[in-house]
Amino acid sequence: MLVDLQAEIVAAGAADLMTLRLLAAVAESGSISAAARTTGISQQAASARMRALEQRLGIPLLHRAARGTGLTPEGAIAAEWAADVAEAADRFEAGIAALRGRRAPLRVAASLTVAEYLLPRWLITARMGASATDREISVTATNSTQVIDLVSAGTHPLGFIESPQSIGALHATMVARDELVVVVAPDHDWAARRTIGLGALAGTPLISRERGSGTRLNAERMMAEAGHPAATPLVELPTTAAIRTAVESGAGAAILSILAVRDDIAAGRLVQVRVRELRFIRELRAVYGDASLRAPELQRLLTVAARGA
């Protein structure tokens, strides 16, 4: 009998979860009127629901008297099972909501200087205004040419570049200005001089990033526009950290972002050498394919980044 009743309770839950919540609320609150208020329906509607459930189950759930309405012994047992069904339904709804929220992260591409020295702070600041339903942001760190390719291909809706090259049909917003500086080891010949001519810099093979790097593109373009094309690099390395290590070891000179070498200069590990005829000032830009940047998480990140401009 009880097993059959439990099966009926589960079946009733599939048809009318609200009524089962009402039955559980009667057990918790002690009266049908209080249960009606808890579930947000009128007392008349609550009474009608309970009568319909009694007819379906074929047992009396409530004993009705002049002093009030309470659960019968069978009703008390049924109310426990109804509460279990309601709780399971709540877990199911919460689980489905969580699955809906588990969307793939938004992908952002950034040149190495931006990815290492600016983007972490922008992401933290943007996250302060986030909601619990916001999507995570995944960062791909690469050179500026590859960033443009990724955004153009649509795999990354937002990118940050250091280079002055054409971005095709993409949209762009300036987010910061940066200065490139010449650095050498403390025992390098240029360290004692502190300044050099542009011709001497352009004629010296430097430790450089690979082709496609925004730092290299900017430096080579500015030197060429000033009438001094850069010499072929002494060596090409894939990261700023590798270049810093090579310069510190005395292998040669390099042109790097001040963001990357400021601490090394302050600590005396590197020496900044000024170029008399030229300062290497560049713009850092955000690039994106959709002018409206539909994802609010990316809109917020771009707003935070653009404040630096």
Residues of the domain holding 79: 2-101
> Residue 73 is part of a domain; what is its CATH number?
1.10.10.10
Asked if 107 contacts 153 with a C-beta cutoff of 8 angstroms, the reply is no
- Residue range 16-42: mean pLDDT, rounded: 81
| Chain segment 152-192, per-residue pLDDT in tens | 998 999 999 998 888 999 999 999 999 999 999 999 999 99
Same domain, residue pair 119 and 222:
yes
> Residue 134 is part of a domain; what is its CATH number?
3.40.190.290
Report if residue 301 sits inside a domain.
no
Read off the amino acid at residue 155.
T
Same domain, residue pair 148 and 90:
no
Report if residue 263 sits inside a domain.
yes
| Chain segment 87-99, per-residue pLDDT in tens | 887 777 766 666 6
Report if residue 300 sits inside a domain.
no
Same domain, residue pair 87 and 138:
no
Domains contained in the chain, number: 2
Same domain, residue pair 91 and 238:
no
Same domain, residue pair 88 and 7:
yes
Same domain, residue pair 112 and 176:
yes
Report if residue 84 sits inside a domain.
yes
Report if residue 213 sits inside a domain.
yes
**Model pTM?**
0.63
